[in-house]
Structure 1
Amino acid sequence: MIQPVIEINHVNFTYERQRVLEDIHLTVEKGSFLGLVGPNGSGKTTLLKCLLGLLKPQQGEIKLFGQQIEKFKNWHEIGFVSQKANSFNTGFPASVFEVVSSGLTSKIGLFKFMTAQDRRKVYDAIESVGLTKFAKRNIGELSGGQQQRAFIARAIVSNPKLLILDEPTVGVDAQTVQNFYEMLTHLNKNLGITLILVSHDIGAITDKVSHVACINKNLYFHGNSKDFESLKDDEMSEFYGHSLHVLTHDHSH
């Protein structure tokens, strides 16, 4: 039996006496592409921070690759791209190659010279996100969507087994978003990376992901995307507490 990438059991988290996560159970299998959806303030970002070891739940257990998170050391196996990546300082004087190679510093050390093998990894990561012809271009000269691709390349250059993306398409135009999802599908299917995509936009992701977890303090639904699509509108509105047409970006917890 294959070891799950993530196991979350009975996780509760409270901010200043306000319960944000309540009795969350969630298992993410190797090779899956999970869409984590929910309205503003539903706890998605808090759950991410718990998964990344940035917050510690008051109750419950989190395991990464079969290991309790408190003992987990192989953080290079997890790549993370935040929604803040696309508010990057565009005046920063670094090429796409340099930005992506910074993702190797945890492995090679900050001031170590890159080997030919390291450079190959950087170019491979750049190629996998479709930015080969921009490798020497200054990051500030790229569009928002291209910058976001560069940050994904930085996240995958150390060959992570799990990639977590927090609202990666905020502020990116529709055509770029479509290309972006195709790239994620390639990373998932062809490179075998387990993906978690956090999004407020249910409609955009249900036909892209293999599984959906719907969270609003509690975990309301976790299953494959076909079962999720078959849920009735009124059931979904009950999950969200309002009509699904008024979802906005999640900039809160």
Structure 2
Amino acid sequence: MEDTRKKPIIEVKDISYKYAEDHVLEHVSLNVPEGAFLALVGPNGSGKSTLLKLILGLLKLQSGKIKLFGEDIRMFKDWDQIGFVSQKANSFNTGFPASVFEVVQSGLTKKIGLFAFPKKKHREKVLDALKSVGMLGFQDRNIGELSGGQQQRVFIARALVSEPKLLILDEPTVGVDSRHVHEFYQLLGELNKKSGITLILVTHDVGTVTDKVSHVACLNKSLHFHGDAEEYHSLDEKELSTMYGTSVQLISHNH
């Protein structure tokens, strides 16, 4: 079910993609309305990463169309409107020589200028971004000294510091202690509600996150489901297993 009340930030229309003869996406159409929190789910090899790369302009379209903020992706230039946090973002070793402040400030390089000095307003943006993810007070710590969950919060702050309208997160709980996963999703839900930022979350942990998201899209080469989270909850085990290509049971964790 599409949300027609708000304009779509992303419009994907009839996308297909293949590597050599391997078809990874087949006729995928998907709209993401402004202010949505979309969970993109599916088994390994289902095409989720390829779809993200197409939306981020990292792969060239082979067929179909993509519009970002109403503009054809081939003409789109305002990439500062889109923040991205990859699942590899928190793979720092303890000797990495950068403070939390420096990591977040690196998200402003384009606005500050490569060889220019940051100004007071840039410092304030960094501190605001750290505050929004609950990491204010950690700005002088070395990024490599933090836990996986703390590092991932810092990288969300780095993505948020340029004030994007859309934030895409690819498996962001990889490396996050299981005890802190719920807290992490709580943070994303609050960011979505308080700031109105549109979120796309690629996750395998759909049972834990469905009480936070507004929409779910299930991808397995083609799009098997796209609707609101309530509709997704109403699917039975047989329907879910058909989507995933394997037996699956949806378990919702309400805290």
Structure-1-length-normalised TM-score: 0.94
Stretches of structure 1 lacking an aligned partner (at least 5 in a row): 246-253
Once the two structures are overlaid, the 10-residue window that deviates more, 12-21 or 175-184, is 175-184
1:130 to 128, 134, 151: 134
Write the distance in 2 (CA, Å) between the matches of 1:92 and 1:173.
21
1:162 aligns with 2:166: yes
More helix by share: 1
1:192 to 181, 191, 196: 196
**Matched letter for residue 190 of structure 2:** H
Following TM superposition, the consecutive aligned residue runs of length 4 or more in structure 1 with deviations greater than 6 angstroms are none
% same residue: 64
Q: Which residue does the alignment assign to 1:57? A: 61
Q: Which residue does the alignment assign to 1:18? A: 22
Equivalent position SS for 1:189: helix
Structure-2-length-normalised TM-score: 0.94
Q: Which residue does the alignment assign to 2:101? A: 97
Once the two structures are overlaid, the 10-residue window that deviates more, 139-148 or 84-93, is 84-93
* Shift of residue 87, structure 1, vs aligned partner: 1.3
* Shift of residue 89, structure 1, vs aligned partner: 3.5
Once the two structures are overlaid, the 10-residue window that deviates more, 43-52 or 197-206, is 197-206
Please list the CA deviations of residues 156-212 of structure 1 after superposition, one character each: whole Å capped at 9, or x if unmatched.
000000000000001212231111111111211111110000001221121111000
Q: Which residue does the alignment assign to 2:72? A: 68
Write the distance in 1 (CA, Å) between the matches of 2:188 and 2:179.
15
2:8 to 4, 8, 12: 4
How many residue pairs get aligned? The number is 245
**Matched letter for residue 88 of structure 2:** K
* Shift of residue 134, structure 1, vs aligned partner: 0.8
* Shift of residue 79, structure 1, vs aligned partner: 0.3
1:88 to 89, 92, 100: 92
Write the distance in 1 (CA, Å) between the matches of 2:180 and 2:95.
23
**Matched letter for residue 179 of structure 2:** Q
**Matched letter for residue 152 of structure 1:** I
Q: Is the 8 A contact 2:29 2:223 kept in 1?
A: yes
Write the distance in 1 (CA, Å) between the matches of 2:61 and 2:23.
11
1:37 aligns with 2:41: yes
* Shift of residue 220, structure 1, vs aligned partner: 0.3
Q: Which residue does the alignment assign to 1:249? A: none
Equivalent position SS for 2:58: coil
Greater RCO (Cα-Cα under 8 Å, separation 6 or more): 1
Q: Which residue does the alignment assign to 2:82? A: 78
Write the distance in 2 (CA, Å) between the matches of 1:179 and 1:110.
35
1:207 aligns with 2:211: yes
Q: Which residue does the alignment assign to 2:123? A: 119
Equivalent position SS for 2:116: coil
